[in-house]
């Protein structure tokens, strides 16, 4: 069975040495009292919960899956999941970064980010139950009425109730303008919702006493397309005026999807048969409210992928040090054994270092974005808040798509390290691969994220936000440009920055002539910009490692070696990506459809 050890040393490095997070957070009124010791203590206890409670039920949960009683429409999560959730609630973990007004602890999003990384490493399927709830909390916190907030937020904050987002329908996925679910006003402020939703993560289960569904549906007079979508709260059990649970609402699970991964999470087909709901926000403005939850989910998927990359790496390293096969080409490295440990072989090291570089780079970038999100939410400087909000919006599709692409690469490599044992369930590696592959697809496929990045976030404002982010990189390059020791990191960082600028301009000019050029280049383009972000993070980490390389702490020696590997072996991928992005639309559209 795979094991998990929370990477607390690297988390503290990112928090306290790379980002100086406490100093940044103390400038925000909501976090003026935050301190390093408190953050460290929370992460240490969270790590224990992840490794000691969640990790031991991950493999068994994948094997058992969820069970639907078709008579009652009730779903049972795998053995141990309900008990683990009770411990989670009892420990106050759902409230970590929630508003104190509703019972939350008010800690930074950044702290919650690290907590969720550890839980995702330990058990992604289980972690999706509270993860979806937190997204529902955020949507209602931003757009709910005072009455809705008073009714639902304390319960979601405590974890007594969980939440979902119900978007997708059998005939429409990303194109929500096609959805057909209907909402009929009842004249008393409520609506009767009718329709069918599919792929609803955590849509039905036995972990909590109530499930709060956030449902997209159309009012009778709604305009066609995405401009005619409204958002509704549809609880599993209706809520009485005093906050207690009333009768069962006719919203139920009609079936469970049999997926390639995340078997421990109930991915439900949800049927709404005149279920009672209340409107969130303004009529026909539901997408704006739901986007709060969708963006949280996209950052969450990046976090899931980061967690899987880390745990796969940890286990593959242990196996590579223990497994003996063949001799090193340069001669025996373990002459006292009949063969050498496979970690001596160059390609095994390449696979391990790829996973390590993507895990540590992903952790740094995800934490950086979480810190910007804290500033966007809590700064009393409107200009700073807006700038941070824009940067989070820019980097969200990169967090989702680039980190999940990397997780697929990394978990596949780590499974390969195991050889034939890699695809045997009891070792756990093939589960990490299956789980990671899903992350590239749901919450908006990675192609959709690429279109969002290039089409909306960059070309949509003529590259203004990208230029601001690029200015940060350029300032760092200028600061370190005279350091001889930093040249191996600064030169390629400056180079990829220049190439992104030129590539963006070139694609933008093509797109003026034919908008389909955006679709032709977007996926390659996102990966190039993802590498720009990672190169920036790795160069900054390399600077810190160089400063402390003679401290005697092997942590910095390893960090520096990993940085060198990233720049030598992974960043050069951008050369081929830029070339294929520049080939444009013609090679994709030349063939007549009939010839496919």
**Domain residue ranges of the chain, discontinuous segments joined by +:** 8-143, 162-283, 445-589
The pLDDT assigned to 288 comes to: 83
360, 443, 480, 517: which one is catalytic?
A: 443
Mean pLDDT computed over 350-371: 98
Q: Is the pLDDT of residue 16 over 90?
A: yes
Residue 176 banded pLDDT, cuts 50, 70, 90: confident
Between CA 478 and CA 490 the distance in angstroms is 9
The pLDDT assigned to 47 comes to: 98
As given in the structure block, the two tokens for residue 195 are 């329709």
Q: Is the pLDDT of residue 207 over 90?
A: yes
360 an active-site residue? Answer: no
As given in the structure block, the two tokens for residue 592 are 């007549």
Q: Is the pLDDT of residue 236 over 90?
A: yes
Q: What is the mean pLDDT of the chain?
A: 96
Q: In CATH terms, is domain 162-283 a member of 1.10.3720.10? A: no
Strand partners, 161: 210
Q: Is the dihedral of CA 191, 192, 196, 197 positive or negative?
A: positive
> What DSSP assignment string belongs to 236-253?
SEEE-TTS-EEEEPSEEE
Cα torsion through 33, 36, 39, 40, rounded to 10: -160
Q: Is the pLDDT of residue 177 over 90?
A: no
> What DSSP assignment string belongs to 308-329?
HHHHHHHHHHHHHHH-B-S--T
**Residue appearing with tokens 């340069």:** 330
pLDDT tens digits, one per residue of 414-455: 999 999 999 999 999 999 999 999 999 999 999 999 999 999
- The answer to whether residues 312 and 410 touch, using CB atoms and an 8 Å cutoff, is yes
Between CA 100 and CA 111 the distance in angstroms is 16
C-alpha closest to that of 200 among 285, 297, 63, 286:
297
C-alpha closest to that of 290 among 214, 367, 237, 235:
214
Mean pLDDT computed over 113-119: 98
Q: What are phi and psi of 208, to 5 degrees?
A: -130, 165
- The answer to whether residues 442 and 15 touch, using CB atoms and an 8 Å cutoff, is no
N residues, the chain: 596
Mean pLDDT computed over 583-591: 95
85-89, 114-118, 285-289, 511-515 — which is least confidently predicted?
Answer: 285-289
Residue 360 banded pLDDT, cuts 50, 70, 90: very high
The pLDDT assigned to 296 comes to: 87
As given in the structure block, the two tokens for residue 361 are 């780079």
pLDDT tens digits, one per residue of 537-581: 999 999 999 999 999 999 999 999 999 999 999 999 999 999 999
Between CA 578 and CA 527 the distance in angstroms is 9
> Full-prediction pTM beyond 0.85?
yes
Residue 226 banded pLDDT, cuts 50, 70, 90: confident
Residue 69 banded pLDDT, cuts 50, 70, 90: very high
C-alpha closest to that of 490 among 471, 500, 477, 501:
477
Mean pLDDT computed over 24-42: 97
Mean pLDDT computed over 26-54: 97
- The answer to whether residues 161 and 187 touch, using CB atoms and an 8 Å cutoff, is no
Query: How many other C-beta atoms can be found within 10 angstroms of the C-beta atom of residue 411?
Result: 30
Q: Is the pLDDT of residue 295 over 90?
A: no
Q: Is the dihedral of CA 59, 60, 61, 67 positive or negative?
A: positive
Between CA 460 and CA 314 the distance in angstroms is 41
- The answer to whether residues 141 and 133 touch, using CB atoms and an 8 Å cutoff, is no
Q: What percent of the chain has pLDDT over 90?
A: 96
Rg (CA), the chain: 24
C-alpha closest to that of 87 among 57, 109, 63, 64:
57
Superfamily of segment(s) 8-143: Acyl-CoA dehydrogenase/oxidase, N-terminal domain (1.10.540.10)
The pLDDT assigned to 140 comes to: 96
């Amino acid at each position: 069975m795979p094991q998990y050890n929370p990477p607390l040393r690297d988390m503290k490095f990112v928090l306290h040495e790379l980002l100086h997070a406490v100093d940044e957070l103390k400038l925000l009124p909501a976090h003026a009292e935050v301190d390093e010791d408190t953050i460290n203590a929370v992460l240490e206890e969270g790590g224990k919960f992840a490794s000691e409670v969640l990790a031991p039920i991950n493999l068994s949960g994948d094997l058992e899956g969820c069970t639907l009683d078709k008579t009652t429409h009730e779903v049972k999560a795998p053995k141990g999941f309900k008990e683990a959730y009770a411990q989670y609630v009892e420990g106050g973990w759902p409230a970590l970064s929630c508003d104190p007004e509703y019972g939350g602890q008010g800690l930074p999003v950044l702290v919650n980010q690290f907590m969720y990384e550890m839980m995702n490493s330990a058990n992604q399927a289980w972690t999706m139950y509270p993860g979806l709830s937190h997204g529902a909390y955020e949507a209602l916190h931003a757009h709910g009425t005072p009455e809705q907030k008073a009714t639902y937020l304390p319960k979601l904050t405590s974890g007594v109730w969980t939440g979902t987002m119900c978007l997708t329908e059998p005939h429409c996925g990303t194109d929500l303008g096609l959805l057909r679910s209907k909402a009929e006003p009842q004249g008393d402020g409520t609506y009767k919702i009718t329709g069918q939703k599919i792929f609803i993560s955590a849509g039905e289960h036995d972990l909590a006493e109530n499930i709060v569904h956030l449902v997209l549906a159309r009012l009778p007079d709604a305009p066609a397309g995405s401009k005619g979508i409204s958002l509704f709260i549809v609880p599993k059990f209706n809520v009485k005026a005093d906050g207690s649970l009333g009768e069962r609402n006719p919203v139920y699970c009609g079936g469970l999807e049999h997926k390639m991964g995340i078997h421990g999470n109930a991915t439900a087909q949800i049927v709404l048969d005149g279920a009672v709901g209340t409107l969130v926000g303004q009529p026909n403005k539901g997408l704006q409210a739901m986007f709060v939850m969708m963006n949280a989910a996209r950052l969450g998927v990046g976090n899931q992928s980061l967690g899987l990359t880390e745990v796969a790496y940890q286990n593959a390293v242990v196996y590579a040090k223990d497994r003996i096969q063949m001799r090193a080409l340069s001669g025996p490295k373990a002459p006292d054994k009949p063969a050498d440990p496979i970690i001596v072989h160059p390609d095994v090291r390449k696979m391990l270092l790829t996973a390590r570089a993507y895990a540590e780079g992903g952790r740094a970038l995800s934490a950086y974005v979480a810190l910007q999100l804290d500033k966007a939410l809590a700064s009393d400087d409107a200009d700073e808040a807006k700038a941070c909000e824009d940067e989070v919006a820019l980097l969200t599709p990169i967090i989702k798509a680039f980190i999940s692409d990397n997780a697929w690469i990394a978990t596949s490599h780590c499974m390969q390290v195991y050889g034939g044992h890699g695809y045997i369930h009891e070792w756990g590696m093939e589960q990490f691969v299956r789980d990671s592959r899903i992350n590239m697809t749901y919450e908006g496929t990675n192609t959709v994220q690429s279109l969002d990045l290039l089409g909306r976030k960059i070309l949509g404002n003529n590259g203004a936000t990208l230029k601001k982010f690029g200015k940060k990189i350029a300032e760092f390059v200028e600061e370190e440009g005279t350091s001889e020791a930093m040249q191996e990191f600064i030169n390629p960082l400056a180079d990829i920055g220049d190439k992104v600028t030129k590539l963006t301009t070139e694609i933008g000019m093509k797109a003026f002539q034919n908008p389909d050029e955006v679709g032709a280049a977007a996926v390659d383009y996102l990966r190039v910009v993802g590498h720009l972000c990672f190169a920036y993070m790795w160069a900054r980490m390399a600077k810190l490692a160089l400063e402390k390389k003679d401290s005697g702490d092997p942590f910095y020696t390893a960090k520096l070696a990993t940085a060198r590997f990233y720049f030598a072996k992974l960043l050069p991928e951008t050369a081929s990506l830029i070339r294929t992005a520049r080939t444009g639309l013609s090679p994709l559209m030349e063939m007549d459809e009939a010839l496919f």
